[in-house]
Amino acid sequence: MATPSKKSEGLERFIDSITPNSLGRRGSIVANKCSWCGGDASVFRNEKSRREYAISGFCQECQDKTFGKD
C-alpha cells in the first residue's frame, strides 16, 4: 500500500471532482488502484514512477500515456 502525498483539502476536493475513479485519489492510492482508469497499480517501472503514483494516483500505464515513457 502506498501512502498518498499530502494536499490541501481544497486541492484534494478538486482532484476528486475530476477523477473518474469513484474512490478518489487518496482512496485509490490506499487500495493500490489507479485513480484514473481504476486498474491495478501495484507494479511500477522504477522508484520515480512509484513516487509519482503517491502524487497523482496514476498506474504505470496511465503515467506513460500522460507523461510519456521516458
Give the mean pLDDT of 10-18: 92
Residue 38 exposed, middle or buried by CB count within 10 Å (0-12, 13-18, 19+): middle
pLDDT tens per residue, range 16-70: 899 888 899 999 999 999 999 999 999 999 999 999 999 999 999 999 999 998 7
Alpha carbon separation from 62 to 10, 17, 21, 54, 68 (Å, rounded):
24, 18, 13, 13, 9
pTM above 0.85, yes or no: yes
Rounded-to-integer distance, Cα 27 and Cα 25, Å: 6
